[in-house]
Amino acid sequence: MKVVIVGGVAGGATAAARIRRLDENAEVVVFERSGYVSYANCGLPYYIGGVIEDPAELTLQTPESFWRRFRIDMRVRHEVTAVHPERKTVSVRNLGTGEEFEESYDKLLLSPGAKPMQPPLPGVGLDRLFTLRTVEDTLAIRNFVEREHPKSVVLAGGGFISLETAENLRELGLDVTIVQRPKQLMNPFDPEMAAFIHAKLREHGIKLLLGRSVEGFESVPGAVQVLLKDEAPLAADMVVLAIGVTPDTRLAKEAGLALGAKNSIVVNDRMETSVPGIYAVGDAVQVKHFVTGENALVSLAGPANKQGRIAADNICGGDSRFTGTQGSSVIKVFDMTAAATGINERTAKAAGINCDKVYLSPASHAGYYPGGRVMTVKVLFEAGTYRLLGAQIVGYEGVDKRIDVLATAIRAGLTALELKELDLAYAPPYSSAKDPVNMAGFMIENLAEGTVKQFHWDQADFLPRDGSVTLLDVRTPQEYGNGHMEGFYHIPVDELRERLKELDRTKPIYVVCQSGLRSYIACRILAQSGFDCYNLSGGYRLYESAVLDRAAAERTFPCGMDRT
């Protein structure tokens, strides 16, 4: 059997090695357009910033090491220009010599990945304008930084690559501005969770121009002008386009393979395309979202690696199946960590799912053990069924651990109520006896049993201030004095039992504390004293973060400077 693989990196290289492990006699040929057949995509921004010092560390395998270990013919700088399913060949161009030839195959695997989106804007292609996809792109950016010593950079786009590149360039001392058409960064997160990411970036001096559209670029002496819609242009020493990726599926389209969402390649759960004997994996393929069951594009290394293994199994006569992806992801934002799994609230509503949510702000480990830091957790579930839909966490240590537990719970089909039953490891340096994941389950159980009713941060400003309801803040006098919502009466929770006569039992009462815990305790006191009580989920801390984020975005001038 002869297998030709188009594209290396995560999916293609994984499949090649797996095929060899399953079939010692298979002939395997991999064609890779770049000069590197297997490299760490996710590490590229960290080489730009010098965190990864040796470029060789980015290269996981070389053609020579693949041959020595697996006897696989890896040909870099070879571009497949056409696929001919009718005669089972591919047309190939050697980018070094210009030679063109056809290569036959018995089975074909397409792993072309995704390419950076470069909309047809004026000025795309200027010398000081970069994209980041390959090792060559990374070397070009780092060489420019070392040679030209730029002092400023504009990044167009606000996803993973943009934020990681922004952080690394900021750590090198550059003045960094991120321009993003949507009004928030990091699409997997809901706005109130993204607000913590925005605050961290601003804390480190990165300017955010959200809700702005880039309309083109102009070259000026020693710089680039970034043209913005209806606003003054931005001047920068360099620009990085990171506005997203699009499936690189020209070969598949021209070969007549069925295409799906955004021209991605349609595959079945065995990773086989509409043409028998041709498989496809990675960022170029359409998959099923595990939570919604809808078609999706998920550009992450984890699913690509799994798909490569599954395709290899089936190429070698097995019957492996890809059951879908839920988009579990994590990102470092300076000293902070943000992670998500499943779907967010926006996606749930778009899919017609009736969702509910809880917020909590637990410490990363036992409060009495030094060094614990607060994380903010949002867990989404389907109302009525309590099916877990997704989770988002922003914090410091322990974020990755909790998101992985929640991702596993979603994959295992656990309900939100069953989170309270998980038997999770505990020692004071690592967690609390009631882990944050367990706590989320307890909170959801309280909602299910009617022990507590809640309202949310985006409803607080719309509560009536005409006296028809009671608004109550139960934090300490110092906390209340440092900032509170308009119209909220103040009674510290520890004084509440003695001061119940100050409150009107005939009116609904809405209660707030800093994180939602003390206000929950207050609601239990009030409910058992005859009050109709509602707790602010996530507390004043979440409310304040979201409101301050909105205010910061409104204060920002097009040049990235605040009016103040």
Tell me which of 42, 316, 355, 513 is the catalytic residue.
Answer: 42
Q: How many CB atoms lie within 10 A of CB 367?
A: 10
* CA 537 to centroid of chain Cα atoms: 24
Q: How many CB atoms lie within 10 A of CB 281?
A: 33
User: What DSSP assignment string belongs to 221-288?
Assistant: TTEEEEEETTSPPEEESEEEE-S-EEE--HHHHHTT--B-GGGPEE--TTSB-SSTTEEE-GGGEEEE
Structure tokens at 472: 């109550």
Over 339-396, what HEC string results? EEEECCHHHHHHCCCCEEEEEECCECCCCCCCCCCECEEEEEEECCCCEEEEEEEEEE
Contact in structure between 483 and 548 (CB atoms under 8 Å): no
Enumerate residues 6+ apart whose C-beta is below 8 A from 495: none
Give me the amino acid identity at 486: E
Structure tokens at 362: 């637990």
Give me the amino acid identity at 83: V
User: What DSSP assignment string belongs to 54-105?
Assistant: -GGGGEEE-HHHHHHHH--EEEETEEEEEEETTTTEEEEEETTT--EEEEE-
Distance CA 426, CA 122 (A): 57
Distance CA 110, CA 311 (A): 10
Contact in structure between 431 and 403 (CB atoms under 8 Å): no
User: Which residue from 108, 109, 156, 161 is spatially nearest to 137, judged by alpha carbons?
Assistant: 161
Distance CA 498, CA 495 (A): 6
Structure tokens at 10: 């995560």
Quick one: DSSP state of residue 492? Answer: -
Distance CA 440, CA 443 (A): 5
* C-alpha torsion angle, residues 429, 435, 436, 439 (rounded to 10): -150
The CA-atom distances, in angstroms, between 473 and each of 213, 417, 498, 536 are 40, 29, 16, 10
Can 355 be counted among the known catalytic residues?
Answer: no
Q: Which residues are catalytic?
A: 42
